[in-house]
Amino acid sequence: MKTAAFAELNGREKTAKVRKARKVPGWLKGFFVPIIILAVWQYAGSAELISATVLPTPLAILLSFYELAVSGELAANMQISIARAAGGFLLGGGLGLLFGILVGFSKKTESYLDPSLQMLRTVPHLAVTPLFILWFGFDELSKVLLIALGAFFPIYINTFLGIRGVDAKLFDVARVLEFSWRHQITRLILPAALPSILLGVRLSLGIAWLGLVVAELMGSSAGVGYMIMDARQFSQTEKVFVGIIIFAVVGKLTDSFVRLLERKLLKWRSSFQGTN
Amino acid sequence: MTVSIHVNEKAFGRAVVLDDIHFDIQKGEFLTIIGPSGCGKSTLLKIAAGLDTEYSGSVEINGREVTRPGISQGFIFQEHRLFPWLTVEQNIAADLNLRDPNVKKTVQELIDIVRLTGNEKAYPAELSGGMSQRVAIARALLREPEVLLLDEPFGALDAFTRKHLQDVLIDIWQKKKITMILVTHDIDESIYLGTQLAILRANPGRLQKWLPIELLFPRNRTDTSFQYLRQKVLEEFEKTEHSVYAEGAGI
């Protein structure tokens, strides 16, 4: 009797322990799949199941990354790439925000501008690449403009929709409280449209990054995209991988930055956060 | 006289909603307007606020004609309509600057009056319905309105919260001596709060009966005089119902 009870207790304790051990912190869960893939990949490379020119091992890529970092080549290329992406994003995103606000505020500007902008939007911005090269040459200008063109539309559309989505009932409140025109914008419309605008910023950043890759792959003498093209010609596959990984990491970092901004600026929101 | 309302006619399309409603109320009065749904009582209040200007007639507050909404006619909506991105104190200040020590001080006083001390930094999403409605009242009071218009402000609240807020409102009315006009469909509420009571009838909305309420504050719902008034209001309602049925219109 006594031993049975003890065993049961013991068993209960064990299940409790197992349950505790299974509780993985949220941020760790994201690492699970990549680590398994890396392990299998490294094994396949080391056992020479795959040729190194087709798929270099993770360690070879890491080594190449180290060499590029030490020589300063990587930093120089990244600097140029980031400057291009940032320039294009600021230009396109800034104009998108401006036009989104203008069109969002006035029915008149909407009927004049929106149809043309919507028509331009449906043209894949990568399809106008040859035209941009023809007009603006091979140097920085064409690249920045290509990125700006892509970054324009997500911010434009989301700012416009955000402003039009402001609750009409709150406009009544603004009228009763005699808000000035300026306060109507700063205290009502922009805060209400902010979730939408930030979503536009995130999407625009993604597209700016995409535009950058295309612009640099199509012809340039510096930048991460150039580094990739250059390495490809010499079959330095591990260098190609370094470039790709850099694109991925920087892209993810900028996205995380905007999400952090969202959490800070939109802490008043009480919306569904997803289930576990 | 402070508030003078003359509505000759208000119509939505062909349907006449308000017909020949004329009354004045003195400074410091608490008018409650009660009537069946569809009698146009909320519309009447929106006209008084200047939120609805498409009618024939006129509204004057202290001799000044009301042509558009503004802070001298404070308005409390059925829902609290707070700005979700602003905290309690920011919502009350709204377009005024909280860094101004005078504003800050008055805001704090009002937070104390509506009994929300300690919730200054909370966002509307963290508040209950009753608390939010109190913030909305404080927001209107900060602008020192000549008249405060309340459109079924406690309609969506539970009985306990409603009773509590009614007492808060009487408290404010007595402290600030603001003229109040409150629209409700709750007979008890109209008698509990008002010094004057207007009963409207529907189809079209007309003034059925004007009833001064001379009970002393604080009032007691179980009082015989309270119950007597209740009886009277109900009788008036019955009359309006008969007339509605007689004219063959549904409610």
How many residues in total does chain B contain? 251
Is residue B203 over pLDDT 90? no
In order of their start, the domains of chain B are 1-72+147-154+180-251 (3.40.50.300)
Q: CATH: 1.10.3480.10, 1.10.3720.10, 3.40.50.2300, 3.30.1450.10. Which one for A58-262?
A: 1.10.3720.10
Residue boundaries of the structural domains of chain A: 58-262
pLDDT at residue B251 in the model: 43
Contact call for B83 and A191, based on CB within 8 A: yes
pLDDT in tens, B98-114: 999 999 999 999 999 88
Residue B21: which of B42, B51, B54, B44 has the closest Cα? B44
Q: Report, as an integer, the average pLDDT of B37-53.
A: 90
Residue A183: closest C-alpha in chain B: B95
pLDDT at residue B250 in the model: 46
Contact call for A172 and B81, based on CB within 8 A: yes
Contact call for A187 and B83, based on CB within 8 A: yes
Is it true that the peptide bond before B204 is cis, omega within 30 degrees of 0? yes
Contacts of B186 (CB under 8 A, 6+ apart): B34, B154, B155
Say which range, A146-160, A161-175, B218-232, B236-250, has the weakest mean pLDDT.
Answer: B236-250
pLDDT in tens, B14-29: 888 899 999 999 999 9
Nearest to B83 among A176, A180, A188 (CB): A188
pLDDT at residue B245 in the model: 54
Is residue B138 over pLDDT 90? yes
pLDDT at residue A18 in the model: 53
| List of chain B residues whose C-beta atoms are within 8 Å of the C-beta of residue A178 | 69-71, 95
C-alpha span between A174 and B94 (Å, rounded): 9
Query: CA angle at residue A159 from A155 to A162, to 5 degrees?
Result: 140
Nearest to B51 among A172, A177, A192 (CB): A172
Distance of CA A271 to the CA centre of its chain: 22
- In this prediction the ipTM stands at 0.85
pLDDT at residue A130 in the model: 85
pLDDT at residue B30 in the model: 95
DSSP code per residue over A153-202: HHHHHHHHHHHHTS-HHHHHHHHHTT--HHHIIIIIIHHHHHHHHHHHHH
C-alpha span between A263 and B204 (Å, rounded): 52
Segment-wise mean pLDDT, segments of 10 residues, chain A, 276 residues: 51 52 75 90 87 87 92 91 93 95 90 90 84 85 91 94 92 92 90 93 91 83 88 89 90 90 84 59
pLDDT in tens, B75-92: 999 999 999 999 999 999
Residue A215 and residue A225 in contact, taking contact as beta carbons nearer than 8 Å: yes
Beta strands in B52-134 (DSSP E): 56-61, 64-65, 73-76
Residue B200: which of B159, B246, B243 has the closest Cα? B243
pLDDT at residue A202 in the model: 92
